[in-house]
Homo-oligomer: A and B are copies of this chain.
């Protein structure tokens, strides 16, 4: 299986290289980079000791599958041609996630992808939409925050256990989620020993979460979503609050998670009382979940933790690739997190 990565020098790009290097069925044959074509990947990332590839420009050769790890707005201009050439495309960006062009315009401020491509694209969150992904050519790999949020919420929303307008998602991310570009926002001295909310009421992952929750509920769901920047490199923790419907017990909530995830290799509902820590997932494709129904308030508190660069990006992309090519879904992803 010949694979390529466009945008190979960003954090998700190089994480794809790390994962795919140990994938028994994949051979990386193309690394594309608009900014670093001609350099060796090890000139940029000396830690990739088993890699001697040279970065190429954006002219994609013939491949079985291309991962696109580009700033939003670029993938949509390139995908049609690639698909025509028979190259499957897994887009780690946002271009194909939102089905409604109006919502895309509103939140991204630019033109959405071509409507035909949008309809063709499948939202690649395997544990929730696996059957939709099989046999497709174009996968919209979910955002990191939506992955954490939807895995916790969708089974409960599908079962109609929550008051739909009561959902509050308070999410926290490590700094690598902001990418490799330089700015004051990622300046060590400004971030270290510091914590802040950002994008309050405006973060672009909000409509992505709402789209999938609305689909699960078969009605429009609006959520409060607030991301925070935490002084650590990797990891997302989503703490989610929702009012349960009258009569819903903690057991009923747990049962939905059990049904959804009992046989999932990457989703781990922890024993009661053990709460997820982002480090449990450090460097791995695993997700950790816990919940508690607070009888005093009638609210359930859901917590999910994952690695934003793995299950929140590159690991999930490889999981999607495995599905597209009918490989066991865990191929190349059977590694635990790093502790401590």
Where the two chains meet, the residues of A that have a C-beta atom closer than 8 Å to any C-beta of B are 11, 14-15, 18, 21-22, 45-50, 165, 168, 170, 172, 174-176, 178, 180, 182-184, 186-198, 200-201, 222-224, 226, 228, 230-235, 237, 239, 241, 268, 270, 274-284, 286, 288, 292, 294, 296-297, 299, 301, 303, 305, 334-340
Chain B residue with the shortest CB-CB distance to A274:
B46
State whether A182 touches B183 (Cβ < 8 A). yes
Contact for A235 among B194, B201, B279, CB less than 8 A: B194
Pick from B184, B186, B231, B282: contact of A232, CB under 8 Å? B231
* A22 to B232 alpha-carbon distance, docked (Å): 27
Contact status B183-A268, CB under 8 Å: no
Q: How far is the CB of A182 from chain B (nearest CB, A)?
A: 4
Contact of A172 with B228 in the complex, beta carbons under 8 Å: yes
Chain A to chain B: the 10 pairs with minimum beta-carbon distance, closest first? A189-B340, A194-B279, A170-B170, A47-B280, A196-B277, A182-B182, A47-B337, A201-B294, A175-B188, A176-B189
Given contacts A180-B187, A340-B176, contact A237 B281 (CB under 8 A): no
Which B residues are CB-close (under 8 A) to A200?
275, 292, 294, 301, 303
Q: How many angstroms from the CA of A274 to the CA of B42 in the assembled complex?
A: 11
Measured between beta carbons, the chain B residues less than 8 angstroms from A284 are: 47, 49
